[in-house]
Amino acid sequence: MGMRRGYGQPFSPSEITPEAVFFNRRAFLQTAGIAAAGALLAACGPQQAATREAAETVTTSTETDELGNPVNAFDEITGYNNYYEFSTDKEAVSRLARDFVASPWEVEVAGLVHKPQRYAIDELLRRFPQEERIYRLRCVEAWSMVIPWQGFELASLLKEAEPMTSARYVGFTTLLDPEVMPGQSSSFYPWPYTEGLRLDEAMHRLTLLGTGLYGKPMPAQNGAPLRLVVPWKYGFKSIKAIVRIDLLETQPATLWNSVASNEYGFYANVNPGVDHPRWSQASERRIGELGRRETLLFNGYTEEVSGLYAGMDLRENF
Amino acid sequence: MDHAVTRKHEKTAPRWWEGWSLLQASVHLGAWLPAFAIAWSLLSDDLTANPIQALEQRTGKAALVLLVLSLACTPAHFLTGYRPILKLRRPLGLYALLYAGLHFSIFVGVDYAFDLGLIWADVHNKAFILVGLTAGILLLALGATSFPWAMRRLGKNWKRLHRLIYPAGLLVVLHYAWSKKGDVFGLRGDILQPLLFAGLVTLLLLVRVPAIKRWILRMRQARVGNPTSTSSP
């Protein structure tokens, strides 16, 4: 058992058929140099920009996050998924999601907004330039990965809809279609999957709407065509296959909180000092590594996000 | 080969391979299969992206299944009257102990690299782990006393001691249920398999309750019309 570095082939646009994806790739290349350096400056050290320019192609296997952790292999990221809409077997998800149709797809932005919107996914990819963000993702089950996402800030989408002053929360809803997502036939969960953020968390520059990874369009098993990535929270907050975004006055219900409210909170900030009732959160297994490593407060994004929770009891608001 | 002509009245000691029924051989072979499958996956690097957790889960599942099979022997004998099933209780129980030992060793030695301080910090107040540990200790005590010398030493108490397999079975199912994301008592979340095993173990324990055994016998007599042989478990 050693590290798996499986993804090493150069990537040419001609291999990708759908035009939307081709645009995505061009937009990525255009903005990679500018957006990556600018957007990531807050989170990365200066060495990161240099690494990206050197990498140039989409084979980011030698890249690292801002703390120097290597990015996980494409096979690891796309072959080990918690996506109960398809299966509770993490390795079966990619197989079951193979025929998932991510386009055409519509995303609605509604609720307490002055300008409700309805976007086709192609339109989103065209109008909001994608940039690469390398984030850590920490599952509540105590494993984690480092993933090179492509996406754009949720804030830019919300700004277009002009949230009303009464809006305090953002709710997200996944597709509900048991024919396509066999796991949704299970009556053990209150489908569809829903999640939520406080408005300031949603507007934070780290909060990403993910549309791809490793320079490729988002694989179905990772939440195609549009998913949330909130890197300082446990992975279950990063809802996949989004169809609806609502601006709300009150805190929305979330699927895992409905399943076990004393175990999966609304905030779900990564915190080694606040255990899950049944297991410890003090350490985690980084996929690809053998030993355990200590879990970092806010998954290592303390500097960027701790201000959101100033004065809050993180144990009470878990 | 002289074993082919050994008669029952001749008092030659049987070789170890003699007297093994097909049933016994199958059980022993079957019990080793999970170990081989796991070793194969390990050598072919096919243990998922999270190999240590996969090892823990697969050894744990094997221990659970073998424990359930051991618990099923007495009811199976009760329902069929086929005595040779009773001889499978010990090997199945010991195999469950073997896999439980592997499961525990991987947790302590591989996952936590023998870091006792870290282990204590992570488990001392976690019912999920403590329940599993208790079940493991029970299995160890039963395994250590599962041989004739112990039966002789403990006499009447041997049977009482070995009834601890019942709470052990329940604790193992609880440990398994608590490893999942969900609320097994609230019937929500990823709890289908734990529920199935809980139902199975409960059934296998209920079938030992004297009142229920009498009811089963009455049902059978009513249907078949002739008394079926019974023997105490």
Which region among B14-23, B78-87, B126-135, B147-156 has the lowest average model confidence (pLDDT)?
A: B14-23
pLDDT bin (cut points 50, 70, 90) of residue B9 is low
Flag if B181 and A258 touch (Cβ within 8 Å): no
Task: Assess A46–B contact: CB distance below 8 Å, yes or no.
Answer: no
How far does A76 lie from chain B, in Å, by closest CA?
A: 6
Q: Could you tell me if residue B5 is inside a domain?
A: no
What is the C-alpha to C-alpha distance for residues B126 and A59, in angstroms, rounded to an integer? 42
Q: What is the mean pLDDT of chain B?
A: 89
Q: Could you tell me if residue B161 is inside a domain?
A: yes
Size of interface A-B (CB pairs under 8 A): 77
The tens digit of pLDDT for each residue in A132-161 reads 999 999 999 999 999 999 999 999 999 999
Question: What letter does residue A104 receive in the DSSP assignment?
Answer: S
Residue A25 phi/psi, 5-degree rounding, is -65, -40
The tens digit of pLDDT for each residue in B11-45 reads 676 666 666 788 899 999 999 999 999 999 999 98
pLDDT at A7 (0 to 100):
31
Number of domains in chain B: 1
What is the C-alpha to C-alpha distance for residues A199 and A196, in angstroms, rounded to an integer? 9
Domain covering A13-309, topology? Sulfite Oxidase; Chain A, domain 2 (3.90.420)
Flag if B50 and A282 touch (Cβ within 8 Å): no
The residues, any chain, with a CB within 8 Å of residue A258's CB and separated by 6 or more, are: A190, B188
Task: Assess A91–B contact: CB distance below 8 Å, yes or no.
Answer: yes
Flag if B191 and A188 touch (Cβ within 8 Å): yes
Span B206-231, mean pLDDT? 79
How far does B177 lie from chain A, in Å, by closest CA?
A: 11
- Residues in B touching A91 (Cβ below 8 Å): 48
Q: Could you tell me if residue B12 is inside a domain?
A: no
pLDDT at A21 over 90: no
Which region among A5-19, A215-229, B46-60, B71-85 has the lowest average model confidence (pLDDT)?
A: A5-19
What is the C-alpha to C-alpha distance for residues A84 and B104, in angstroms, rounded to an integer? 28
**Among A residues 204-243, those touching chain B with beta carbons less than 8 Å apart:** none
Picking from B49, B42, B51, the residue whose alpha carbon sits closest to that of residue A81 is B49
Distances in whole angstroms, Cα of residue B144 to Cα of each of A179, B92, B158:
52, 14, 12
- Residue A197, classified by CB atoms within 10 Å of its CB into exposed (0-12), middle (13-18) or buried (19+), is buried
Task: Assess A137–B contact: CB distance below 8 Å, yes or no.
Answer: no
How far does B45 lie from chain A, in Å, by closest CA?
A: 6
Span B94-98, mean pLDDT? 97
pLDDT at A245 (0 to 100):
98
Q: Could you tell me if residue B102 is inside a domain?
A: yes
Flag if A260 and B178 touch (Cβ within 8 Å): no
Q: Could you tell me if residue B6 is inside a domain?
A: no
- Cβ–Cβ < 8 Å for A70, A286: no
Task: Assess B50–A contact: CB distance below 8 Å, yes or no.
Answer: yes
- The continuous run of DSSP H or E covering B48 comes out as none
Span B133-152, mean pLDDT? 95
How far does B75 lie from chain A, in Å, by closest CA?
A: 31
How far does B58 lie from chain A, in Å, by closest CA?
A: 13
- Residues in A touching B126 (Cβ below 8 Å): 275, 278-280
Flag if A1 and B47 touch (Cβ within 8 Å): yes
Span B135-159, mean pLDDT? 94
Flag if A278 and B190 touch (Cβ within 8 Å): no
What is the C-alpha to C-alpha distance for residues A26 and A21, in angstroms, rounded to an integer? 9
Task: Assess A283–B contact: CB distance below 8 Å, yes or no.
Answer: yes
- Cβ–Cβ < 8 Å for A173, A106: no
- Residues in A touching B186 (Cβ below 8 Å): 259-260
pLDDT at B210 (0 to 100):
93
Flag if A188 and B187 touch (Cβ within 8 Å): yes
How far does A1 lie from chain B, in Å, by closest CA?
A: 6
Task: Assess B123–A contact: CB distance below 8 Å, yes or no.
Answer: yes
What is the C-alpha to C-alpha distance for residues B168 and B173, in angstroms, rounded to an integer? 9
Task: Assess B188–A contact: CB distance below 8 Å, yes or no.
Answer: yes
pLDDT at A302 (0 to 100):
97
The tens digit of pLDDT for each residue in A100-136 reads 999 999 999 999 999 999 999 999 999 999 999 999 9
Q: In chain A, what is the greatest distance between 2 CA atoms, to the nearest angstrom?
A: 54
Task: Assess B43–A contact: CB distance below 8 Å, yes or no.
Answer: no
Span A57-70, mean pLDDT? 77
pLDDT bin (cut points 50, 70, 90) of residue B230 is low
Q: Which domain holds residue B82?
A: 21-224
Full DSSP string of A47-67: HHHHHHHHH-SS-GGG-B-TT
Beta-bridged to residue A284, according to DSSP, are: A293
pLDDT at A283 (0 to 100):
92
Task: Assess A182–B contact: CB distance below 8 Å, yes or no.
Answer: no
Picking from A107, A235, A116, A111, the residue whose alpha carbon sits closest to that of residue A175 is A107
- Residue B130, classified by CB atoms within 10 Å of its CB into exposed (0-12), middle (13-18) or buried (19+), is middle
pLDDT at A20 (0 to 100):
37
Task: Assess B130–A contact: CB distance below 8 Å, yes or no.
Answer: no
Task: Assess B196–A contact: CB distance below 8 Å, yes or no.
Answer: no
Span B193-211, mean pLDDT? 95
Q: Could you tell me if residue B103 is inside a domain?
A: yes
Flag if B49 and A288 touch (Cβ within 8 Å): yes
- Cβ–Cβ < 8 Å for A1, B45: yes
pLDDT bin (cut points 50, 70, 90) of residue A62 is confident
Q: Could you tell me if residue B159 is inside a domain?
A: yes
What is the C-alpha to C-alpha distance for residues A76 and A78, in angstroms, rounded to an integer? 6
pTM (predicted TM-score): 0.81
Task: Assess B120–A contact: CB distance below 8 Å, yes or no.
Answer: no
Q: Could you tell me if residue B11 is inside a domain?
A: no
- Best of A5, A94, A280, A295 to substitute, by most chain B Cβ atoms within 10 angstroms, is A280
- Residues in A touching B128 (Cβ below 8 Å): 278-279
Flag if B45 and A1 touch (Cβ within 8 Å): yes
- Residues in B touching A189 (Cβ below 8 Å): 188-189
What is the C-alpha to C-alpha distance for residues A165 and A5, in angstroms, rounded to an integer? 48
- The continuous run of DSSP H or E covering A42 comes out as none
Planar angle of CA B32, B34, B36, nearest 5 degrees? 70
Q: Write down the domain spans for chain A.
A: 13-309
Flag if A280 and B123 touch (Cβ within 8 Å): yes
Picking from A16, A34, A19, A174, the residue whose alpha carbon sits closest to that of residue A103 is A19
Question: What letter does residue B91 receive in the DSSP assignment?
Answer: H
The packing angle between helices B127-144 and B165-178, to 10°, is 150
